[in-house]
Amino acid sequence: MKILLVGAGGVGSAFCAIAARRDFFESVTVADYVLTSAERAVDPLSDPRFTAARVDASNAASVEALARQCGATHVMNAVDPRFVMPIFEGAIAAGADYLDMAMSLSKPHPTNPYEECGVKLGDEQFAVAGEWEAAGRLALCGIGVEPGLSDVFARYAADHLFSEIDELGTRDGANLTVDGYEFAPSFSIWTTIEECLNPPVIWQDGQWTTTEPFSEPEVFDFPEGIGPVECVNVEHEEVLLMPRWVETKRATFKYGLGNEFIEVLRTLHKLGLDSTEKVNVTATVGGKPTVVAVSPRDVVAACLPNPAMLGDRMHGKTCAVLWVTGKDKAGRPRSTYLFHVVDNDWSMREYGHQCVVWQTAVNPVVALELLANGTWAGVGVLGPEAFDAVPFLELLTAYGSPWGIQELDPA
């Protein structure tokens, strides 16, 4: 297996640190638009299997050319979702399989955005599934932590715990603090804005509908000492993936943002600072006024600290939970948490990467190892639910990061 990793930010760098301890691949070419970023991910490893390169992730031809040059069998997408389609298209053009951790972007319904779906997450990718099948290539989409591990949990619950599922409810929460910052997101603010301000999607009784951002607040009690966190509806891929392979009456995703974070996002939206459309800004360059076209969202991202650099200031745990309700294999009511917790002190000590990016990055490494040894195999555009969950969960535990189950009173 020869891997082309596109993106050397926080998740991409953590991917390299995790993969470097495994022996299932021949090489990893770490590529970024800024070559020095790729070099920063590669150099600390002192591993000849890893090399740095430059790529333009917005250009499918650039991705294809580099994939061919390095002989990539698998293209791993570790950049934010605006670049999904060029990397996705570049991979198949190069004759490589493809993995990502976020799917192609959505577009709200033009006239009724908070009730009806427009273009859904992943629609552009699923629209060409037949081309991938015909080419005998696999696009494994949504294989981070959420989506990703949460979807593996859904497959496991359906196969081994439940005879009938009422709801697959993904819940994301943490008790993380960051020393020295009043506001410092632990993940890409670009992606967070995209997820949180778009209309959330809900799967209910055989169809997808939308609702208002931050709707249906609930206090969710996260395991392993994290405790109660208020969670709200947010657009996320699980809701678009799980019902395609797992029978369920309802699927939701709720994020534990907290009131402060929600108010910041609302303010950004009111001011138009969440926009990705470029505006002309007059800046002084070399002592002369110069008009520069910039995206407001990119300016917000540039003003905030890089989440990948916050690990030594962070404290606490992050948790991904799938809350499954329905009937057990004997037909009795059941309510179960399947969860995965990563402590920041542990991930920094063991890998030198903060817990949120580490938890995201470990799952595609596990998936690639299963593909390399033939345990997982398939063609077309597939989600993690399409594969056997048991080998994945066993290997995740073997990586030193076990998952857990907690039973609740179903009454």
The domain spanning residue 256 has which CATH number?
3.30.360.10
C-alpha to C-alpha distance for 8 and 24, rounded to whole angstroms: 21
C-alpha to C-alpha distance for 411 and 167, rounded to whole angstroms: 15
Residue 311 pLDDT exceeds 90:
no
| pLDDT value, residue 275 | 87
C-alpha to C-alpha distance for 109 and 21, rounded to whole angstroms: 45
Q: Are residues 222 and 332 in the same domain?
A: yes
Sign of torsion, CA 410 162 317 186?
negative
Residue 186 pLDDT exceeds 70:
no
Q: Taking the CA of residue 136 as centre, how many other CA atoms within 13 Å lie in the half-sphere pointing to its CB?
A: 2
Q: Is 382 contained in some domain?
A: no
Range 203-212 average pLDDT: 96
Whole-prediction pTM value?
0.91
Q: Are residues 95 and 155 in the same domain?
A: no
Sign of torsion, CA 305 146 320 252?
positive
| pLDDT value, residue 335 | 97
C-alpha to C-alpha distance for 333 and 245, rounded to whole angstroms: 22
Q: Is 131 contained in some domain?
A: no
Q: Is 364 contained in some domain?
A: no
pLDDT tier for residue 193 given thresholds of 50, 70 and 90: confident
Q: Is 106 contained in some domain?
A: no
C-alpha to C-alpha distance for 379 and 374, rounded to whole angstroms: 13
Q: Is 368 contained in some domain?
A: no
Task: Give the domain range for residue 200.
Answer: 149-268+303-351+400-408
Per the document, the length of the chain is: 411
For residue range 251-303, what is the model confidence (pLDDT) as tens digits? 999 998 877 778 888 888 888 888 888 988 887 777 788 888 888 888 888 88
Number of domains, the chain? 2
Range 96-101 average pLDDT: 98
| pLDDT value, residue 223 | 95
Tokens 């994290």 belong to residue: 226
**At which of 84, 99, 114 does a domain end?**
99
Do 205 and 287 meet the contact criterion of CB atoms below 8 Å apart? no
Q: Are residues 203 and 326 in the same domain?
A: yes
Q: Are residues 95 and 187 in the same domain?
A: no
Query: How does strand 138-140 pair with strand 97-99?
Result: parallel
Q: Are residues 172 and 314 in the same domain?
A: yes
Tokens 């997982």 belong to residue: 376
**At which of 36, 65, 99 does a domain end?**
99
Query: Per-residue DSSP letters for 225-245?
Result: TTEEEEEEE---HHHHHHHHH
Query: How does strand 74-77 pair with strand 317-328?
Result: unpaired
Q: Are residues 158 and 67 in the same domain?
A: no
Range 124-129 average pLDDT: 98
